[in-house]
Amino acid sequence: MAKVEIELVRKVLQRNDLDYEVISQILGDLELEVSSGDEVDSPSMPPVKKQFVMLVSDPDGKFAGELFTGWVLQIPEDQSPLEINAQLVRAAYDFNRSRKGSKDPARTITDVCEIVPAKILRNQAVWVRTKEPVLIVRTDNKIPTTEPTADEDGDDETPAAFDGELPGLD
């Protein structure tokens, strides 16, 4: 819907030789609608906090019942994903040779993802999208033909609860 200033509407109504009382009534109605519309928009919901989750396809059930963490990384399309560990190690070596790295060196891949600057990682053609580790959720990559009922929880092989501690970050 187009938004028009009330002054423009006033000029158009006056050009059409309408009665002054009718113009005042129309403009009053418009101002009332505009002010009530602002009140509806102002109490908006606070933004939803989001987190990253990696979804791993596991149709054979190799990861059933396990809870993993990891990082979301980007590499060039023409590069093999199998080289990522070597690139992260080279980035750690480069960082540890710097002044900041000599004071607080990167000792684990967790350290590389969390404290090594993006400039050093970029030199190794790696871009870390999540500095904090994220949960990796398993899926069997199938959609059931019937909808689950309320008493069925879907996948009995998944961990019962997440206690807030991310595994594998020793």
Range from 91-100, 137-146, 158-167 carrying the lowest mean pLDDT:
158-167
Helix, strand, coil percentages, rounded to 5, for the chain: 40, 10, 50
Q: In this predicted structure, what is the pLDDT of residue 101? A: 95
Q: What is the pLDDT of residues 47-93, one digit of tens each?
A: 777 766 777 788 888 888 888 888 999 999 888 889 999 999 999 99
Contact by Cβ (8 Å): 169, 133: yes
Residue 149 maps to a domain: no
pTM: 0.57
Are residue 110 and residue 75 in the same domain, yes or no? yes
Tokens (6 digits) for 104? 């607080």
Question: Which range marks the domain in which residue 74 is found?
Answer: 54-139
> Where is pLDDT greater, at 137 or 168?
137
> Where is pLDDT greater, at 65 or 127?
127
Q: In this predicted structure, what is the pLDDT of residue 108? A: 93
Residue 146 maps to a domain: no
Are residue 61 and residue 124 in the same domain, yes or no? yes
Tell me what the pLDDT averaged over the chain comes to. 81
Q: In this predicted structure, what is the pLDDT of residue 170? A: 54
Q: In this predicted structure, what is the pLDDT of residue 49? A: 77
What single-letter DSSP state applies at residue 88? H
Are residue 58 and residue 132 in the same domain, yes or no? yes
- Does the pLDDT value for residue 41 go beyond 70? no
Are residue 22 and residue 88 in the same domain, yes or no? no
Number of domains making up the chain: 2
Are residue 58 and residue 126 in the same domain, yes or no? yes
Using a CB cutoff of 8 Å and minimum separation of 24, what contacts does 12-15 make? none
Residue 20 maps to a domain: yes
Residue 19 maps to a domain: yes
Residue 127 maps to a domain: yes
Are residue 18 and residue 65 in the same domain, yes or no? no
Residue 156 maps to a domain: no
Q: In this predicted structure, what is the pLDDT of residue 98? A: 95
Calpha distance 170→152 (Å, rounded): 35
